[in-house]
Structure 1
Amino acid sequence: MPFMKGVHAFRNTLSYLNQGKIVFKHDVRVMLINYNSERVEPGRSDVSKGVRDLIFWHLNQIQYKNPQTQILTIQNMTPTPFLTFILGTKQKIHVAVDGRSKEEILKHVRDIVGKSDEELKEEEVLEDQSLFGHGSARHCICEVPGQVPCPAFVPLPKEMTGKYQVKLQKGELE
């Protein structure tokens, strides 16, 4: 069963959204998609078919993977489809996508404004260093430099123990 109940509900499941392969670089602010939504009569080539398929199958994934990027679709304004990426430096990148399939468009966009696999792995490593607990690189936060060591290995000063604070409040210590 390719779809679940509802209008194409499979495209909105979390497992499907996580399968997206395009993660934009940090300076990509806006993605504009210009295409024609009307089908052409038989005998003529449909230059917008790849873009329509891209929007139907992969736009949700791109939005999910890039929450900091605004994505706009503009229909029936130009005769040929194209993508425009606006970068943080007010620089624009125009990509002509007429006559291309959705796979070709995805590969081209990933090569131009997407992060490479090496960059994604570096970000995962940096993210994993901040985590601790079961299944992470560090078992306890005490292993992070600058934190208080574990009381199991190094005894805490008396002033930092709860028993000492309670006795101090009751006036038992002098």
Structure 2
Amino acid sequence: MTEDALFEDGREAPLHLGAFDGEDLTIIASLAQDAVFPITEMTWRPRDRRFGLLINRFRWEDTGRARHGAERVQSVLAVENVLNVSSQGIDRSDRDTVLSLLSVTFEPGDEPSGHVLLTLAGDGAIRLEVEALDVTLRDMTRPYKAPSGKVPSHGE
């Protein structure tokens, strides 16, 4: 049985979201957009079939921005059921590289399989072949002031 959300449920709290279909993934993608992460914080564990990123995501859901300024939070973006990982436009040997996540999308294959595509700024991309879609986004730290002090912009 499902219940309606309560007003109190809207309080600011750490996120812990899951996606099992493309519609769910659009919510996670919107919250992870403009996240930045060092290339060293990207991990694939083939034996566990898990791919993870430790990202510094912009808090798009933050309703108190006018009061305390732009904030980021460290979060884990994890993809389960990963069979293969490929990338383009990324020099994985440059350990000082900081990547910026522009979008997360799902390209369906033979149901329930497909590909999770992580599009990065600068024409980079990571493609994850998945047996079934299972993505989580979980905040790991308290929010902190965004170093730039600004809301990300795409020159609109």
- TM-score normalised by length of structure 2: 0.25
Q: Give the number of the structure whose residues are more often strand, by fraction.
A: 2
Q: Give the number of the structure whose residues are more often helix, by fraction.
A: 1
- TM-score normalised by length of structure 1: 0.23
Pair member with larger Rg? 1
